[in-house]
């Protein structure tokens, strides 16, 4: 396939299915193709995975670089297995590959849409497991030095839906390969609500199937109803804020964090604000999971932005909590943020 296309329609490259046009679309399949592209690629440009966590907010975007390196390799490391996947591999394909080959530890992360290369950027997580739990290292190509750097788990600075790739290293390079380390001695992680219905000796395949069933029941399939999964992050608040809210809302779900803070459930806050299933024009809040914004038929990413701002304002008015988007927002000039009104 040609590595570069001009005035390229990204409809098939974003799970919201918005028809944005990028001036130039680059899809390198190897390091040498990437290096050729970087010779003439000018800023601004955006590194896109499968487009399952990016909203195109305008009819045009910046130039797009979508690395599509393929391949999975496996190495026996004694009491663990090292599995390396190239950035263009599909994440769920990797999870399925592991379960089929009896490499256990990422079955809780089944069915998360997106590419392997994008997974460390937001430290994907679901059903009690995070990518950070199993990462051994990431190979990251640095544009300035034209070299590949090896970042071990601590160098990746993983946090809840966050990593060094979103912060200090943003725009300075791209992830080419991800290596996970799975212990041979495996124990099912059944802590998350729903998975605790399984027997304590459940197999990884059973966990995998259960996670798929829960996701399919709650999260709308982007192929049928375009969306980008959770639109907002779950807010993390200090203990005092939590205690105050808890008095008023005793049934509010909350998860204590190691640092003494408390993570709240954005989906619950949105539902309590009366917005579950709310729709306006051709977009809306999903009926099964209030944290997911869906595109029924709109051709304009601004419709989702306006809906997101409405959700933010309603939750702010009721709970005094400002929800931060989890989805990345790409305009024609680069990434943008939705900031709290009247705040610098
Ligand atoms: N809740 C409601 N109403 C809703 C949605 C949720 O009351 O409409 C309540 C639930 O009853 C539960 C709590 O909120 O008490 C948490 O809900 P859930 O278990 O569905 O998970 P979540 O916090 O809404 C997070 C991740 C998901 C991940 C699930 C499962 C974020 C932003 N989202 O959602 O990740 O699949 O946990 O682990 O952390 C994604 O990132 O795109 C994503 C789907």
326 lines ligand 1 (CB under 6 A): yes
User: How far is ligand 1, taken at its centre, from the CA of residue 80, in Å?
Assistant: 31
Burial of 96 (0-12, 13-18, 19+ CB in 10 A): middle
Instruction: Single out the residue of 227, 166, 168 nearest to residue 18, CA to CA.
Output: 227
In the residue annotation, 326 being an active-site residue is answered as yes
Question: How far is 7 from 61, CA to CA, in rounded Å?
Answer: 10
Residue 218 CA, closest ligand 1 atom number: 20
Residue nearest to atom 10 of ligand 1 (CA): 268
pLDDT at 344: 53
In CATH, the architecture of 4-65 is 2-Layer Sandwich (3.30)
For a pLDDT cut of 70, what percent of the chain falls above it? 99
Atom 23 of ligand 1: nearest residue by CA position: 265
pLDDT in tens, 91-147: 999 999 999 999 999 999 999 999 999 999 999 999 999 999 999 999 999 999 999
Where along the chain do its domains lie?
4-65, 72-213, 221-336
Does residue 239 contact residue 258 with C-beta atoms inside 8 Å? Answer: no
Q: Say if residues 22 and 10 touch (Cβ distance below 8 Å).
A: yes
Q: What is the pLDDT of residue 52?
A: 98
Instruction: Say if CB 142 and CB 31 are below 8 A apart.
Output: no
> What number does the ligand 1 atom closest to the CA of 161 have?
39
**Residue 3: is its pLDDT beyond 90?**
no
- What strands, in cross-sheet order, belong to the sheet with 236-237? 236-237, 262-264, 254-256
Q: Does residue 215 have an active-site annotation?
A: no
Q: What is the mean pLDDT of residues 189-205?
A: 96
Residue 219 Cα, ligand 1 centroid: separation in angstroms? 9
pLDDT score at 220: 97
Question: Quick check: is 35 catalytic?
Answer: no
Instruction: Say how far apart CA 50 and CA 224 lie, in whole Å.
Output: 17
Top CATH class, 72-213 = alpha beta
Model-wide pTM > 0.85: yes
Quote the ligand 1 centre to 283 CA distance (angstroms): 20
Span 221-336: which CATH code? 3.90.78.10
Which of 230, 245, 264, 273 gets mutated to test ligand 1 (max ligand atoms within 8 A of its CB)?
Answer: 230
């Amino acid at each position: 396939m040609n590595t570069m296309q001009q005035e390229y329609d990204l409809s098939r490259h974003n799970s919201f299915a918005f028809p944005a046009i990028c001036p130039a679309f680059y899809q390198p399949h190897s390091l040498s193709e990437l290096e050729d592209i970087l010779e003439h690629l000018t800023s601004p440009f955006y590194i896109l995975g499968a487009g399952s966590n990016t909203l195109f907010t305008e009819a045009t975007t910046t130039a797009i670089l979508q690395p599509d390196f393929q391949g999975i390799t496996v190495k026996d490391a004694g009491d663990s297995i090292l599995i390396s996947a190239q950035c263009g591999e599909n994440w769920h394909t990797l999870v399925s590959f592991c379960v089929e080959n009896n490499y256990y530890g990422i079955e809780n992360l089944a069915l998360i849409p997106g590419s392997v290369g994008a997974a460390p950027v937001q430290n994907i997580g679901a059903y009690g497991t995070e990518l950070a739990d199993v990462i051994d290292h990431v190979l990251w190509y640095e544009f300035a030095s034209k070299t590949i750097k090896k970042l071990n788990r601590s160098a990746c600075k993983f946090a809840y839906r966050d990593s060094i790739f979103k912060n200090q290293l943003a725009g300075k390079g791209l992830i080419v390969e991800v290596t996970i380390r799975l212990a041979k001695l495996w124990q099912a992680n059944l802590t998350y609500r729903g998975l605790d219905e399984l027997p304590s000796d459940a197999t990884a395949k059973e966990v995998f199937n259960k996670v798929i069933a829960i996701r399919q029941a709650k999260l709308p399939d982007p192929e049928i109803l375009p969306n980008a999964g959770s639109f907002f992050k779950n807010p993390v608040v200090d203990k005092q804020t939590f205690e105050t809210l808890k008095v008023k809302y005793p049934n509010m779900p909350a998860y204590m964090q190691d640092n003494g803070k408390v993570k709240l459930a954005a989906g619950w806050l949105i539902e309590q604000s009366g917005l579950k299933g709310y729709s306006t024009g051709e977009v809306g809040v999903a009926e099964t999971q209030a944290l997911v914004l869906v595109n029924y038929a709109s051709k304009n990413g601004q419709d989702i932005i306006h809906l997101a701002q409405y959700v933010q304002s309603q939750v702010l008015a009721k709970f005094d909590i400002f929800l931060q988007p989890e989805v990345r927002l790409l305009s024609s000039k680069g990434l943008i943020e939705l900031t709290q009104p009247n705040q610098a």
